[in-house]
Amino acid sequence: QVQLQQSGAELAKPGTSVKLSCKASGYTFTSYYIYWVKQRPGQGLEWIGYIYPGNGGTYYSEKFKGKATFTADTSSSTAYMLLGSLTPEDSAYYFCARSRYFDYWGQGVMVTVSS
């Protein structure tokens, strides 16, 4: 069965970076886009962008350019999102999801930015 397994919660200091992972299983990793979504506690969903593991192509929402960097390791079927220059406004849940149809989601990972 299709699964997206995300890495564990992160506690980071302002100005540092965190690298989140999303390990895919149960389907051909290189055939589907991976989308990343942000949700601040009690708030709505915000689209960060996507990576297509088939060719490494990426797209970033304007707001997240320079903040997020997507990569993918096809040997381990894992997508990554590096969040840099962290500020308290980056404290949120981050989800990965498969494709524009959002048919499968990771369980989410909480990132807390605090000194």
Q: Which residues of this chain interact with other proteins, rule CB under 8 A?
A: 35, 44-47, 49, 59, 61-62, 95, 97, 100-108
CB of 76 to other proteins, least distance (A): 22
CB of 102 to other proteins, least distance (A): 5
Q: Do the Cβ atoms of 71 and 80 come closer than 8 Å?
A: yes
Nearer to other proteins, 29 or 50 (CB): 50
Nearer to other proteins, 27 or 47 (CB): 47
Nearer to other proteins, 19 or 100 (CB): 100
What is the signed CA dihedral for 60, 61, 66, 67, rounded to 10 degrees? -100
Residue 96 burial (C-beta neighbours within 10 Å; 0-12, 13-18, 19+): buried
CB of 62 to other proteins, least distance (A): 7
* φ/ψ (deg, to 5) at 11: -120, 120
